[in-house]
Every structure is written in C-alpha cells, then in structure tokens.
C-alpha cells in the first residue's frame, strides 16, 4: 500500500517551485507544478509537471483536479480565478482574500493602515488627471517621491523614483497611465537599511517567525541577505517579528508571509508583502533548522510548523546574477575549490545579464568573513576571473 500523502499543486514553474521540490522530496509529499513551458526552472526537476497558463481559469481548473491544496510560486494568478477555484471547493493557500494584499499595493496600504501597521504616506493617482494629485502629494510629503504600479511589479520593476516633477517626470507618469497601468504615489522613506521579516501561519492558526534579516539591494534587485540582521536590537527584532505575525493573522495568511521593511531613524516601516517563499528566505535552506520551502509546505498542509532556529551565528545569502558568459558551470571548479563550504544553488534557467539565476550561501561566526565568502562566490559565478574589474567598477561607481 502507498502512503496516503496529499498532493500539493503549485501554480508557477520558477525557482521557488524548484526549491520547494527539494523539501517535498524529503517530506514524501507529491508536488505538482503548473509551468508555462517544459523548460522552466521547476519543470526541469519535478516529476509531475502540467504545462499550462496559470493566468487562465480553464488551465487552473484542470490543474486543480487531483490536488489536495493549491499554492503559488508568484503573485500573478488573478484573484478572480482563485475566488472561482475556492467557490468550487478547491483549497487555495494562501486564499484569495489574503493574497489580494500581496497582489495590489493599494489594497495592501489601505488594509495595513487600518490595522495600524507603520506605512509610508500614499495616495492613488487618478488616471485622468494625475498631475494635480502628484503636486499636492509632493507639497505635503516632499521630493523625491515614489510612483508604483499597484499590480504586477517585482524586483524593482513597477517602481519609479521621481526626484522632481519636471516635464520628464510628468511624461513618464502620463506614459505609464497610457499603457493602462494603475498607479499610486508614496512618500520616499529615508531608511538606514532594509530588513525582512519572514513568518509562517497554518490554517490551524499556528505561527512561526524566522530571525529578522538585512537585505541589500542594488538597482532594485536584492543582492545579499544577512541573517540575522547585524546589530539589530532585540527589541526591534521582536517588534518586526510581531508585526509580521500580526499582519499574517490579520490578513488570514496561510503559508509564508515575507514583510519587506525599512529601518528608519524612528522605527520600522512596511515596504512590501509577499505570500510565498521569498528571496530573503533562501538563507534558511542551510541556515535554519527548517527551510522556508519546507515551512511553506508544512503550513499549507496544516502540519505543525518547523523550528526556525538558526544553524550558525551568521548566514549570508548572495544572489547570483547572469553575466556576459552563460557558461556558469565551468566556473564551479574555482568557486568550490576556493571555498569547500560555500553552498551553490543554480536554478537551471537561461542565463541573461542581470537575471537572478542562482544563489550562494555561506555560514560561519564572523560577519565580515562570511559576507566576503558569499560575495566572492556570487561574483565569480557571474563574472569569472573578470570579477575584480567589475568589483572595482562597482566601488568606483559607489564612490562617485
């Protein structure tokens, strides 16, 4: 007789589904993935792949048959479709009501404001006549200001910082509205650094919080995650964990919730929400007793949550971005010989310059040492022996 294990369906075939498969293998839980094409990151490694369009209701309905629970690799499955699945009795975790707050930044701001979570000032931009609204917002909150697409953005896409409201800026906003984007404006938060709070919540209502991490971004893309966030006071760490657990509870999240935070002179401010395994949690694969991918599966299956205890005093995850030479594998030899303890993760994705194609993780006791180890591995995998030239350029740009 076979195990009576439930089937988890994940809509989306990216690297999050791919890494979820590693956890599903351990738990003996069959993972079924709805991928857009058979060569997507997860489709290359999962036995049970269905190729289809995860934005199309018919494909979602077909996919859901035989799955005990549906979860998501990204935020782009339309809420209407998820509501339709729910109405027909499919368990979607997180559900559409919670997920709306990770799909629409305006919905998120309104709900979190009502809940009392610290957020930047914001306003919706009327499509017909945005300029007076922008000018009024700038008068009240100053410049620069941040224009965001309410839906569909990720990795810095869908976010524009305006230093002034000159003709170029107005043209940009008018163009974006002309493309049919729905826009909002937010105050530009003067932050010391960015943090992320990762928590899980099960249908039973159990919550679990990982240590708060610092995330380092370059040009809107996360390049590095440091766990735990260096020098963060216990008070602020607990405040961030409780804020994320409170939001998860308030919104009825099931699965993971990542809360991207700004640390400012006066405290924490919520930036973005994600309800799925998150780049800021990749460090947990080796750096915590329970990886975020296992934790997400446990939560959506309503199993007791796993220990979030860290495995080392310091863990640093660095994203590997695509460089000019796609033959990343040939650079493994140097990276692995240079540091036998660094962990290499590759997503099996086509290599394009600047694209997230993998990550590396280093663990240890000394922050500067662990950071340098992760940085070295990620830079070498991207650039090869040319990494020094690129590092020098980056430093020069930073100093300029």
Binding-site residues sit at 105, 148, 186-189, 194, 271-272
Tokens of 230: 């260096």
The reply to whether 3 sits near its own copies by the rule CB under 8 A is yes
- For 398, the 3-state DSSP assignment is helix
* The binder of its own copies chosen from 137, 346, 380, 383 (CB under 8 A): 346
CA distance 247 to 253: 8
Q: Smallest distance, Å, CB 18 to its own copies?
A: 6
Residues 178-207 that bind its own copies (CB under 8 A): none
The residue among 68 and 250 lying less far from its own copies, judged by its C-beta, is 68
For its own copies, the binding residue among 217, 332, 386, 391 (CB under 8 A) is 332
Instruction: Tell the smallest beta-carbon distance from residue 291 to its own copies (Å).
Output: 10
Q: Which of 130, 207, 310, 358 binds its own copies (CB under 8 A)?
A: 358
**Cβ neighbours of residue 110 under 8 Å, at least 6 residues apart?**
none
* Cα–Cα dist 345/320, whole Å: 9
Structure tokens at 328: 């990343």
- Sole binder of its own copies in the list 9, 13, 14, 30 (CB under 8 A): 30
326 binds its own copies (CB under 8 A): yes
Q: Which 277-306 positions form the footprint of its own copies (CB under 8 A)?
A: 285-286, 289-290, 298, 303-306
CA 116 to the chain's CA centroid: 23
Strands 8-11 and 69-72, by their bridges, are: parallel
What is the separation of C-alpha 254 from the centre of its chain, rounded to a whole number of angstroms? 16
Measured from the CB of residue 5, what is the shortest distance to its own copies in angstroms? 5
Q: Which stretch binds its own copies (CB under 8 A): 78-86, 104-112, 347-355, 387-395?
A: 347-355
| Burial degree of 221 (CB within 10 A; 0-12, 13-18, 19+) | middle
Q: Which stretch binds its own copies (CB under 8 A): 185-193, 254-262, 330-338, 390-398?
A: 330-338
Q: Which residues between 34 and 63 bind its own copies (CB under 8 A)?
A: 39, 43-47, 49
Strands 183-187 and 193-201: unpaired
Alpha carbon distance 276, 259 (integer Å): 11
Of 12, 14, 16, 18, the one binding its own copies by CB under 8 A: 18
| Omega of the bond leading into 228 within 30 degrees of 0 (cis) | yes
Helix (H, G, I), strand (E, B) or coil at 361: strand
Mind giving me the DSSP string for 19-31?
A: HHHHHHHHHT--E
- Residue 363 contacts its own copies per CB under 8 A: yes
Residues that bind its own copies in the complex, under the rule CB under 8 A: 1-6, 18-19, 21-22, 24-28, 30, 39, 43-47, 49, 208, 285-286, 289-290, 298, 303-307, 309, 311-312, 326-330, 332-333, 336-337, 340-341, 343-348, 350-351, 358, 363
């Amino acid at each position: 007789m076979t195990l009576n294990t439930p089937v988890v369906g994940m809509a989306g075939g990216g690297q999050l589904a791919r890494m979820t498969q590693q956890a599903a293998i351990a738990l003996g839980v069959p993972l079924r993935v709805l991928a857009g094409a058979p060569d997507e990151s997860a489709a290359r490694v999962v036995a049970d792949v269905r190729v289809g369009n995860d934005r199309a209701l018919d494909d979602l309905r077909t996919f859901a048959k035989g799955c005990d629970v549906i979860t998501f690799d990204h935020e782009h499955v339309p809420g209407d479709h998820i509501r339709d699945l729910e109405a027909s009795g499919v368990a979607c975790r997180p559900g559409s009501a919670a997920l709306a707050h990770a799909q629409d930044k305006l919905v998120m701001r309104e709900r979190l404001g009502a809940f009392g979570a610290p957020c930047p000032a914001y306003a919706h931009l009327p499509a017909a006549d945005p300029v007076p609204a922008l000018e009024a917002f700038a008068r009240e909150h100053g410049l620069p200001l941040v224009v965001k697409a309410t839906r569909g953005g990720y990795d810095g896409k869908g976010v524009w910082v305006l230093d002034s409201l000159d003709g170029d800026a107005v043209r940009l906003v008018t163009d974006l509205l002309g493309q049919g984007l729905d826009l909002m404006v937010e105050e530009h938060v003067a932050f010391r650094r960015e943090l992320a709070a990762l928590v899980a919540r099960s249908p039973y209502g159990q919550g679990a919080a990982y240590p708060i991490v610092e995330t380092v971004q370059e040009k809107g893309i996360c390049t590095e995650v440091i766990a735990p966030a260096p020098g963060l006071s216990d008070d602020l760490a607990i405040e961030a964990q409780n804020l994320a657990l409170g939001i998860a509870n308030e919104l009825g999240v099931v699965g993971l919730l990542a809360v991207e935070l700004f640390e400012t002179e006066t405290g924490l401010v919520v930036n973005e929400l994600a309800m799925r395994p998150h780049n800021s949690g990749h460090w947990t694969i080796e750096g915590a007793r329970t990886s975020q991918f296992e934790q997400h599966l446990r939560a959506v299956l309503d199993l007791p949550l796993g220990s979030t205890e860290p495995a080392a005093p310091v863990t640093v995850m660095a994203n590997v971005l695509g460089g000019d030479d796609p033959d990343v594998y040939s650079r493994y030899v140097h990276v692995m010989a240079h540091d036998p303890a660094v962990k290499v993760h590759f997503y099996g994705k086509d290599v394009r310059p600047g694209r997230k194609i993998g990550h590396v993780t280093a663990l240890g006791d000394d922050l500067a040492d662990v950071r340098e180890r992760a940085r070295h591995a990620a830079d070498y995998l991207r650039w090869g022996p040319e990494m020094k030239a690129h590092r020098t350029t980056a430093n020069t740009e930073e100093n300029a």
